[in-house]
Structure 1
Amino acid sequence: MLQDRFGRTIDYLRVSVTDRCDLRCSYCLPARFTQFEEPSHWLTFAEIERVVAAFVRLGVQRVRLTGGEPLLRRNLPALAAQLKALGLRDLSLSTNATQLAKYAQSLKAAGVNRINVSLDTLDRQCMQDITGRDALAQVMAGLAAARAAELSPIKLNMVAMKGVNEAEIEAMADFALSNGYILRLIEAMPLGDTGRNAQFLELGAVRERLVERYQLVPQALELGGGPARYWQTPDGSAQIGFITPRSQHFCATCNRVRLTVDGTLYLCLGQESTVELRPLLRSGISDTELDAVIIAAIELKPERHEFNEQPTKLIRFMSQTGG
């Protein structure tokens, strides 16, 4: 098993397959940004498979495919099948669901276990304001296709923003609970100017309201190995998760690292500690050497982020890191 110098076991790898997206969420990707990574710098499917295979050899059993919007990467289900064949216990996908209606069945057939869908609002105009596109109908069609394909669980990721979609939280919770989805409320993170300009909303008071509204109780069961703290209805049939990187950070239990589309291994979402794998892969590094590089890289993983202490520290924005 991979362990860092703080005793944390690293068993979760997030793999970004593209930094491009068909939405421009206000907290993630600048509206006029065009400086995307050159396709020649993207890791090929074979290179991604090789890196993931190394992590699997070192004990990692959870992989999540991310972006940008991962379903914009051509033939993504084929990559999912390649990775699943490595023996992964859990292969998941994060998506904005605009393309999901086309790919839900093939993703399920390829071995994707579950999906997270970014959905910040159920209001058509609010979605256009946040994302720059009138895409609510496409997202809803994607969710329906995911249910039909029996992808499960389906989690809805809602970045809660003060004065933007704050008033919709209860409606989103009602929607999720009545349709069998798991709602996860997320505090905006200060990554790049997009993240810093988001209207930060601390989730403590929101949690108290929802706990009272639905009579929620803390849930000990792990739902995917991520940072969310889950609460459930009294009968255990529905859950709501809270991801609070700023008001109640979870760095002491962080179990993940991130591989970007250009082969950069990020050891922390909130720090700049990185290792460049693409040059090594393209210079003929052996599997044994690659394993050693990854083991050494994990030693660089910082103890914690500094979102509150240094909110202007990070220039890169969310879609460049892979979420």
Structure 2
Amino acid sequence: MIDPFGREISYLRVSVTDRCDFRCVYCMAENMTFLPKKDILTLEELDQLCTAFVGKGVRKLRITGGEPLVRRDVMSLFRNLGRHLETGALDELTLTTNGSQLTRFADELAAIGVKRVNVSLDTIDPDKFERITRWGKLDKVMAGLDAAQRAGIHVKINAVALKGVNEEEISDMVGWCGQRGYDLCLIETMPLGDIDGDRTDQYLPLSLVRARLGQRWTLDDTDYKTGGPARYTVVRETGHRLGFITPMTHNFCESCNRVRLTCTGTLYMCLGQEDAADLRAPLRADPSGMELDRAIDEAIGRKPKGHDFVIDRRRSAPAVGRHMSVTGG
């Protein structure tokens, strides 16, 4: 699949649920209204959609949410998608998780062929963790990280840089990740969905974070890629990678190779734009898959060049109305 700007689309991120067992302050309102279950694709339909994309050239599948591991019977989807790893049609099957359920599922994920997981973790301070996630318990996540490592799954920590919240802790997290054998990826907060608070109070440019880190750590640039938007360095003192995802200060759109599928069958060609394609209707209307193929081709044909994220006090509304938990993290 080639988009209008010559980019090959080889990476699909699939949200299997908009629900989560946390309520992170930058992601959700505390009293969220979730989608009715009748609007959610079945796991079999999600498998059909993913398989269609694999057949059209997708080489990497990332399962996301919400929190993907809270969906009932979600491991049946992983088991079914694992067949594409066995045939060689798929290079990687992975997921992004908050880590709360990894003690239950790490061994089975590893057996299916999941070799890497991204775990969203913004602090290693238990009290601060509860304030950020509202409902989360750090010891449960730490147990999940241990379970993933015992199962042989490589862990990357994703941390959103939040001004006045975890900014003084980021340097220590670099050292902690190095000690534990994790890569770390820092992310700028993005204006997606209405939350309880003002994002201008949270926004911390990673250019500033990197400059501060340089006072303690030696960051060597590298051309390492995972298929996602991060630009990576290697922390010389630990030997582990540190990535920066900068949708605000330096967007990564020129190399975008991915699209996002929601749990309702809506395909977003760009995280930061509202344009979307309904794949649920053609999936259900035509068992042959021909209508679905046409719908996917038409959607890729209008993938935009990039997003237009802005955070400032003159613009109170989010750039995009839907929450990140709906689109898929």
Task: Provide TM-score, normalisation by structure 2.
Answer: 0.93
Structure 2 residue aligned with 1:125: 127
- For residue 184 of structure 1, give the secondary structure of its aligned residue in structure 2: strand
1:49, distance to aligned residue in structure 2 (A): 1.4
Match of 2:5 in 1: 6
**% identical equivalent positions:** 48
Q: Sort the Cα spacing of 1:10 and 1:39 in 2 relative to 1 into closer, same or farther, 3 A.
A: same
* Separation of aligned partners in 2, 1:291 and 1:180: 42
Pair 178,295 (structure 1): closer, same or farther in 2 beyond 3 Å: same
In structure 1, the residue matched to 2:111 is 109
Q: Secondary structure at the match of 1:9?
A: coil
SS in structure 2 at match of 1:226: coil
CA drift of 1:287 comes to 2.1
Partner of 1:169: 170
Q: Which residue of the other structure, out of 183, 205, 210, is the alignment partner of 2:208?
A: 205
In structure 2, what is the Cα distance between the partners aligned to 1:75 and 1:293?
Answer: 28
Question: Contact 2:17–2:263 at 8 Å: present in 1 too?
Answer: yes
Give the conservation status (yes or no) of the 8 Å contact 2:60–2:93.
yes
The residue that corresponds to 2:188 in the other structure is: 187
How many Å apart are 1:213 and its aligned residue? Answer: 2.1
The more displaced of 66-75 and 194-203 is: 194-203
Partner of 2:50: 52
8 A contact 1:211–1:217 mirrored in 2: no
Q: How many Å apart are 1:92 and its aligned residue? A: 0.6
Q: Is the 8 A contact 1:189 1:196 kept in 2?
A: no
* 1:176 alignment partner AA: C
Give distance in 1, aligned partners of 2:237 and 2:161: 26
Which structure 1 residue ranges, 5 or more long, are not aligned?
none
Distance in 2, Cα, partners of 1:293 & 1:183: 37
Change (3 A) 1:183 1:268: same
TM-align CA RMSD: 1.7
Paired residues, what number?
319
Q: Which residue of 2 aligns with 1:314?
A: 320
Distance in 2, Cα, partners of 1:161 & 1:183:
15
CA contact (8 A) 2:178 2:238 kept: no
**Counterpart secondary structure, 1:56:** helix
Per the TM alignment, residue 236 of structure 1 is displaced from its structure 2 partner at its CA by 8.3
Give secondary structure in 1 for the equivalent of 2:169: helix
Amino acid at match of 1:12: Y
Aligned counterparts of 1:109 and 1:77: Cα–Cα separation in 2: 11
The correspondence of residues 115-264 of structure 1 with structure 2, limited to 5 A, is 115-152=117-154, 154-194=155-195, 197-198=198-199, 199-222=202-225, 224-234=226-236, 237-264=239-266
Cα distance in 1 for partners of 2:126, 2:238 equals 31
Distance 1:320 1:283 in 2: 24
The 3 A distance-change label for structure 1 pair 203 and 225 is same
Given that 1:264 and 1:276 are in contact with CA atoms closer than 8 Å, whether structure 2 keeps it comes out as yes
Instruction: Indicate if the aligned counterparts of 2:279 and 2:296 stay in contact, CA closer than 8 A.
Output: no
Contact 1:229 1:241 in 2 (8 A): yes
In 1, distance between residues paired with 2:46 and 2:73? 14
User: Would you say 1:283 and 2:285 are equivalent positions?
Assistant: yes
Match of 2:22 in 1: 23
> Does the Cα contact within 8 Å between 1:61 and 1:89 map onto a contact in 2?
yes
CA deviation string 1:267-311 (max 9, x = no partner) = 111001111111222222522332221111101211111112877
> Do the aligned partners of residues 247 and 195 (structure 1) sit closer, same or farther apart at CA in structure 2, a change above 3 Å counting?
farther
- How far apart, in 1, do the equivalents of 2:116 and 2:197 lie? 30
Q: Report the alpha carbon displacement of residue 192 of structure 1 after superposing the two structures with TM.
A: 1.5
